[in-house]
Amino acid sequence: MDSIIKQPHLITFYAATGHLMMHMFAAFYFVIVLAIEDDWNFSYDELINLWLLGSLLVGLGSIPAGWLSDRWSRSGMLAIMFIGLGVSSILCGLSNNKFSLMINLSALGLFCSIYHPAGISWVVNTSKETGKALGFNNIFGGVGIGLGAFSSGLIIDLYNWNYAFIFPGAISIIIGIGLFLHIYQGKISFKNIISDKFNDNPNQNQLLKIAIIMLVSITCMSFVYQILQSSLPKVIDIRLAERLDFGASQIGLIVSFIYIVSGLMNYIGGILADKYPEKNIYLIGILGQGILLFFIFSLSNYFLIIISLFIVAFNSSILPAENLLLAYFSPQKHQSLVYGIKFIVSFAIAPIALFLISTSYEVTKEFSYLYLSSGILMLILFFVVFTLPSAPKKSISEAF
């Protein structure tokens, strides 16, 4: 495998940058919408619903993206992603009505769907210490969310919301052109690299039980992730902004801080996943989220920021363990497709989360009961995942 990977640092760069850009484009609308709300004089719940189709396509597009990645090229799919994200984002910035913004946000969501099935398989098959590599790569997902929130708030304060779409879009196109050039020059393999680390399969009798448990777990974890990512800028705006005189840039900075710091926990979680049973790490992260969600039910001081940080950190830190479990249980030739199924579940839950957020705000002008319900859900999930079969004595991490 090493002889095929001529420029591993380039793979690391494009995989990490792709993760950053994907999450940045999937999240920055939640800050930008606050400025559009003032500019267009539409209500928050009307404007947030414009992202419903886009958020659905982030999930639905994962299946064809995974299928194409397995049969064509993972690196080629990522190059297409960068270009598509850039063009779509620029078109969002040029939108002048709700319909055109909805169409362009939907295109943005479709191109976002490429990263996880293509990018995660790329990392899994080109790394030696897979948990550590996944953890490092996952850091940039959190950084992307944080950078998107901060840069959007800053650009809005300096210019306007249109440029908060246009500037990142131009950067993404440049990166995509760079990846195309490196593939063309042969510095990055166009052909998929296949690792032999995950050839051993678990007991076939356990696969159905494992599949059901993992599907339930991924759904619940994704639901909590989407609830927090989508509502956090607004709940800070509701509970802290007026009292502490926060503007868009301050709210963006707070959300940025939460996701960047918590994103670093991905790396720690990846190291732990290489050393300890993946199931144990997974359980600890689920339990931590469940308990802490009860604490932000009605917090309206700085502890809201601190507790939110820990919840997102728990959510992020167990992703390497989750991806390792999926790699172990997946047929090698369909690995991208399996990750596509994971992320269609992960992001298909987003429209439901957005609907609940919109409805909660419309009815209560708050999200307290939504957080309470999420906490109960995670505690139930803890007991469900506890029944997951233990990994065999020679685990994935020990095989390295």
DSSP 8-state assignment for residue 395: -
Average pLDDT over residues 100-111: 96
Residue 300 token pair: 């309206």
Q: How confident is the model at residue 1 (pLDDT cuts 50, 70, 90)?
A: very low
Average pLDDT over residues 46-72: 87
Q: Where do the H-state alpha helices sit in the chain?
A: 8-27, 29-40, 44-48, 52-60, 62-71, 74-93, 98-112, 115-125, 130-158, 161-184, 207-236, 242-244, 248-275, 278-293, 303-317, 319-329, 335-364, 368-386
Are residues 21 and 170 in contact, defined by beta-carbon separation less than 8 angstroms? no
The answer as to whether 91 is a domain residue is yes
Evaluate if residue 192 carries a pLDDT over 80.
Answer: no
The answer as to whether 1 is a domain residue is no
| CA-based end-to-end distance of the chain | 14
pLDDT, tens only, 125-150: 777 777 788 888 888 887 887 788 88
Residue 7 token pair: 């420029």
The answer as to whether 21 is a domain residue is yes
Q: 300: Cβ–Cβ under 8 A, 6 or more apart, which residues?
A: 239, 240, 243
The answer as to whether 168 is a domain residue is yes
Host domain of residue 300: 8-192+202-399
Phi then psi for residue 247, to 5 deg, are: -100, -170
The answer as to whether 197 is a domain residue is no
Q: Quick one: what percent of the chain has pLDDT higher than 70? A: 88
Distance CA(69)–CA(263), nearest Å, equals: 26
Instruction: Single out the residue of 228, 324, 316, 238 nearest to residue 277, CA to CA.
Output: 324
Mean pLDDT of the chain, nearest integer: 83
Are residues 53 and 106 in contact, defined by beta-carbon separation less than 8 angstroms? yes
Average pLDDT over residues 9-23: 91
pLDDT at residue 2 in the model: 43
pLDDT, tens only, 244-283: 667 777 777 888 788 777 767 878 888 888 788 888 898 9
| Number of domains comprising the chain | 1
The helix-helix angle for 248-275 and 29-40 (nearest 10°) equals 160
| pTM for this model (two decimals) | 0.72
Q: How far is CA 126 from CA 68, 79, 192, in A?
A: 18, 17, 10
The answer as to whether 170 is a domain residue is yes
pLDDT at residue 178 in the model: 95
For 170-237, the DSSP string reads HHHHHHHHHHHHHHHTTSS-SSPP--STT-----GGGHHHHHHHHHHHHHHHHHHHHHHHHHHHHHHI
pLDDT at residue 87 in the model: 97
In this structure, the number of other CB atoms found within 10 A of the CB of residue 258 comes to 26
Are residues 352 and 223 in contact, defined by beta-carbon separation less than 8 angstroms? yes
Distance CA(59)–CA(114), nearest Å, equals: 9
For 270-311, the DSSP string reads HHHHHHS-HHHHHHHHHHHHHHHHTTTSS--STHHHHHHHHH
pLDDT at residue 202 in the model: 56
Q: Between 366 and 84, whose confidence is greater? A: 84
The answer as to whether 3 is a domain residue is no
Amino acid code (one letter) for 62: S
Q: Between 362 and 399, whose confidence is greater? A: 362
pLDDT at residue 82 in the model: 97
Give the CATH number of the domain where residue 149 resides.
1.20.1250.20
Q: 373: Cβ–Cβ under 8 A, 6 or more apart, which residues?
A: none
Evaluate if residue 185 carries a pLDDT over 50.
Answer: yes
| Range with lowest mean pLDDT among 24-33, 228-237, 366-375, 386-395 | 386-395
The answer as to whether 74 is a domain residue is yes
Distance CA(37)–CA(40), nearest Å, equals: 6
